[in-house]
Structure 1
């Protein structure tokens, strides 16, 4: 276990917090909202309970159920891959470690929903000026998007990481 304290696994508490916060909020929605019930918070933000049987933006949601297992398999693969990357990422690469852990927590949150309910619980509903309504999403989705943004930011701030990764991949062939 001591070999992990110097890797991105040391930041696993972030993934755990994202997962817990995601599940607590989803349970609150499941216990307090009827399907499609909406509560207006502001002119541009509502809480709404929707079931997403697909992926982002309800991609493939209208199919006959096979997508549940397809997206479950993708999530399991992503969790495994990100966990592996965390064991290979140095703890001091802050943006990468936080980004990977945010994505991991989000992936686990949505994976749990798919296995437990057969769909992902979405409840955050925003209206964007000049665009209209954004598809409903949840805390897990926020973790995934923010995590991906941090990883992208790291690639711009620390291009030497990308170069080092390329060298290591080339040396391994």
Structure 2
């Protein structure tokens, strides 16, 4: 097996692993909890809370009509998946951290897209809070997207650009009478 094949297998495994973990965790929540049920794991900090989010991140567009949300999320999901696939395809093989980051984002995007196609909304259950101040609930796919984006930003911030050295230009010589 060549090095490139092995690297692509690792990237595909990461993407697939995110999708499978996301879907299995959501299936477990749906089968074992009632909608809006909350199970404290760490008091005043973290609970498993089963909710369904018809909107985007942080519940944006949740009040929009079902038809609008389906068209909007369908088109943006297709655009995002094509964009992520293009970035991954065009990213040089040596950009390992960037490729891993995009693979995690891709897995998260597919995980949430599966929910939208199956239920018309996303299943969320990870509830982080301090006393009564709650961060919006999220899921494994959201976590993979967030971690992937953070690592991608860090990667691009510290990426060393291979800039060719400047070639000094010889001064132009003007010939008299020209």
TM-score of the alignment, normalized to the shorter chain, above 0.5: yes
Measured in 1, the distance between the counterparts of 2:130 and 2:160 equals 33
Q: Which range is displaced more, 23-32 or 59-68?
A: 59-68
Q: Which has the larger radius of gyration?
A: 2
Cross-structure match for 2:49? 48
Q: Unmatched 5+ residue regions in structure 2?
A: 165-178
Q: Aligned partners of 1:150, 1:8: CA distance in 2, in Å?
A: 19
**Alignment partners' CA distance in 2, 1:108 and 1:90:** 23
Q: Kindly report the root-mean-square deviation, in angstroms, between the aligned alpha carbons of the 2 structures.
A: 2.4
Q: State the distance in 2 between where 1:138 and 1:13 align.
A: 19
Deviation for aligned residue 1:78: 0.8
Larger displacement relative to structure 2 (5-14 or 53-62): 5-14
The runs of 4+ residues in structure 1 deviating greater than 3 Å are 4-10
Deviation at 1:69, TM superposition (A): 2.6
What is the CA-CA distance between 1:33 and the residue it aligns to?
Answer: 1.1
Equivalent of 1:108 in 110, 120, 131: 110
TM-score by length of 1: 0.84
| Aligned length, in residue pairs | 161
User: Does the CA-based 8 Å contact 1:53-1:68 persist in structure 2?
Assistant: no
1:160/1:108 CA distance change after superposition, 3 Å: same
The whole-number CA distance in structure 2 between the counterparts of 1:45 and 1:68 is: 31
Partner of 2:172: none
CA displacement at 1:92 relative to structure 2: 2.4
Whole-angstrom distance in 1 between the partners of 2:130 and 2:148: 22
How big is the shift at 1:10?
Answer: 5.5
Structure 1 residue aligned with 2:21: 21
Identify the residue that residue 88 of structure 1 maps to in structure 2.
90
Unaligned runs of 5+ in 1: 165-173
Query: Structure 1's 60 and 19: CA in aligned 2 closer, same or farther, altered over 3 A?
Result: same
Give deviations 1:2-38, integer Å, cap 9, x for gaps.
8x73876751211110000000000001111111011
Residue from 92, 96, 99 that aligns with 1:97: 99
TM-score (norm 2): 0.82
Instruction: For 2:5 and 2:93, locate their aligned partners in 1 and report how far apart those are by CA, in whole Å.
Output: 8
Match of 1:138 in 2: 139
Matches of 1:98 and 1:124, distance apart in 2: 24
Q: Which has the higher helix share?
A: 1
Using a 3 Å threshold, how does the CA distance of structure 1 residues 42 and 6 change in structure 2: closer, same or farther?
A: closer
Q: Distance in 1 between matches of 2:74 and 2:31?
A: 24
Distance 1:152 1:73 in 2: 25
